[in-house]
Structure formats: structure tokens, C-alpha cells
Amino acid sequence: MTSHLKNFFSLAILIFLVSCQSSQDSANSHPKNITTLAPLSPFDRNTVDGLLVSVADQAILLSDLQHAILATSNGQTQISANGKLTGGTMTAVQANQLLESIINQKVLQIKALELGIDVSDAELSARINDFLKQQNYTEFDLQEQLKKTGKTLEEYRAEFKNEVLKQELIGRVISPLITVTEDEVNSFYLQQTGSIKQVTAVKLRSLMLNLPENYIGDPLRYDAVVKVQKAVTEGKDFVALVKAYSMASNAIQTEGILPSHPVNELPTELKQKLAHLKVNDVVGPLHIGSSIFFFQYLGAEFGSGSDLKANYLSWKNKLLNIKFEERLTEYLKNERSILRVNIRPFTII
């Protein structure tokens, strides 16, 4: 039995480790052991087990976290009767990350039920059988693994069903919102590799402001320049700004779109920023000749023999995965707020 099947029984913890705060804590914390929960409130004293997290009208108990810790620590971490963790390698940061994943799963489970997503017993059995076949496992392998983890078949089916429900929810709510354009993939590749030499041309939209004749002040402090820069900083629609302010003769008709420019023809400041730009980012103001320019980056073009073209699908999937994680994180953050997730802190030594 390989580790892949073992990982599946651990509440699919790794799939939902999307808490940004946990990641930041991990980078700045020293390993510590978790001892127990914070002091009990009068309400908590009247509950069975330790109320660790409330999610709307549902609870995550201390025992839920304890079971997850045991499942992910390969038996190295022991939990005593008073809830202390001893003898293991799991740190406070890791335990908090684990708890975050349990909370996120609970949120997704609640949302799936709200949307009426369900799986019948027959369908669940069929999905489990399909999963076992895909992984080249038998029902005997499953039973043996359940014995090792101390889980019953009913518990496994319940966990599997929760995963199916959450994946159905993600497929219905999150996945349809995840799309990428070719220009976004091109720019992502450029950001990741810095391979400007592979770029054949750059697509831009420009907003041009002519300075008055004999203007002697700071060109970048010209009133119109300051006004446009403020609007750009505030995230105003750049096409609308082009139509309202650009002094190019064809600005209304072309909306400021320029013919593709070879990299060596770009202004130095724009060229230097090229590897760090995302599609629709605006660079400026740039003083060129007697005019001030703002450029909106619309994408880079690569030759057919470039590394990007040879591995385009791989780079596209990388960007899709990043966007998926960002969208899922945003969704969970919003839903956790709506469901009033309340976490009782740990006492850490």
C-alpha cells in the first residue's frame, strides 16, 4: 500500500491548506508544542468535549483536531488525557494550519448542503469503486488500510462523501470563474522566467498628453498629468481615461491601441518593467519628447520556436492552478465571514 491512499484518508487536508495567515505564520514562527485550549468559558464548561471552533450553528471539537493530528503525524504525536501533545514533530504552526484546513472543509460542506448538492448511497459506492480502480487498489487493500488507521468503513464513506460534495461545489461555484487568456499566459511566463529575449513584440495601449509650448515646470507635475495619474492609481478604467484625456488624433477610434512594438523600440523604463507586468497594468507617466505618456500593457508575443510555445499547456495549467487557489481562498474568506467562524485560541508553550 503506497502513501497516496494513506493521504486520502486524512480529510484531504492538503487540498484545502489555503489560509494565507497560516502561511505567513509558518515563515516567522519557531517550533513549539501545543498544550491545551484557552481557559474555558461558562458556556464551554457545559459542553461535551472541548468546543474549539463554531461555524454558524455547527461545532469543531478539540477531539476533531486531535484525530486529524494523529492521522497526519504517522503516530509520532501522542495526545494525553488533558489534551496535551507530546513526543511528536508537529509544531503549533502546523497544528493551526491543520485546523484551518478542517474549518475550510466544514465551510465547504455547509455551502454544499445549502445548494442542495447531494450524493446517493449507490452513487457514493460507485465513486469509491472507481477511485480504487484508478489507484489500482482492491477492496481488500481498503479494508487493510482502514484497520491500520483505526477507521470504520462507515467513517471512510462519510469522509469520501464530504469530499465528493465539496468537489461538486467547487466545480459549480469556483471552476466556472477560472479562465485565462493567451496574453495572460504569455505575461505569466515572462514574470516567472524574465526571458525578455524570447519576446518578439509587445502590445500596448497609450494615453498621450502634449505639454504646452515653452512649458518650463516639471513635466510630471503638469495638471493634466497629475489628474490622469491620480485616476490610474485609483483604478479607473483606462479606456475611458484614454477617450477623455488622450490628445492623440485617433484616440477615440482606436481607444489608444498601438501597433505591436518590438522590445528594442520600447521606452527604457517600460522595457525594464516588462518582466514584472500583468496584463492591463499601466506604466507612466513617461516623458518622451514634448509629450507625457501612460502605457497600458496588453500582452507580449513570442516566436514559434520559444520555450513558452513548446511548453504552453504546462504554463497555462500553472496559471490556472494559481488562479484557482486565489479564487478558492477568496471564496472561503467571504463565506467564513458570513458563517461567523469563531476560533478559540490555543495555549502554547
Q: What is the CATH number of the domain that holds 34?
A: 1.10.4030.10
Task: Give the containing element (helix H, strand E) for 330.
Answer: helix 312-338
Are residue 192 and residue 169 in the same domain, yes or no? no
Are residue 58 and residue 136 in the same domain, yes or no? yes
pLDDT at position 208 is 94
Are residue 27 and residue 85 in the same domain, yes or no? yes
Are residue 62 and residue 95 in the same domain, yes or no? yes
Give one DSSP letter per residue of 158-190, joined into a string: HHHHHHHHHHHHIIIIIGGG----HHHHHHHHH
pLDDT at position 51 is 78
pTM over 0.75: no
Are residue 170 and residue 195 in the same domain, yes or no? no
Could you say which of 133, 151, 177 is where a domain stops?
177
Has residue 349 been placed in a domain?
no
Has residue 324 been placed in a domain?
no
Distance CA 53, CA 343 (A): 5
pLDDT at position 119 is 85
pLDDT at position 193 is 87
Has residue 230 been placed in a domain?
yes
The CA-CA-CA angle for residues 291, 292, 294, to 5°, reads 140
Contact between 342 and 54 under an 8 Å Cβ cutoff? The reply is: yes
pLDDT at position 234 is 95
- pLDDT tops 70 at residue 145: yes
Q: Phi and psi dihedrals of 211, rounded to 5?
A: -80, 145
Are residue 18 and residue 155 in the same domain, yes or no? yes
pLDDT at position 292 is 93
Domain count, the chain: 2
Are residue 151 and residue 234 in the same domain, yes or no? no
Question: Mean pLDDT over residues 190-194, rounded?
Answer: 86
Are residue 228 and residue 281 in the same domain, yes or no? yes
Count other C-beta atoms under 10 Å from residue 150's C-beta: 10
Are residue 222 and residue 139 in the same domain, yes or no? no
pLDDT in tens, 217-260: 899 999 999 999 999 999 999 999 999 999 999 999 999 999 99
Distance CA 207, CA 294 (A): 5
Are residue 103 and residue 117 in the same domain, yes or no? yes
Identify which of 212, 230, 115, 101 has the alpha carbon closest to the alpha carbon of residue 168: 115
Q: How far is CA 58 from the centre of its chain?
A: 26
- pLDDT tops 90 at residue 80: no
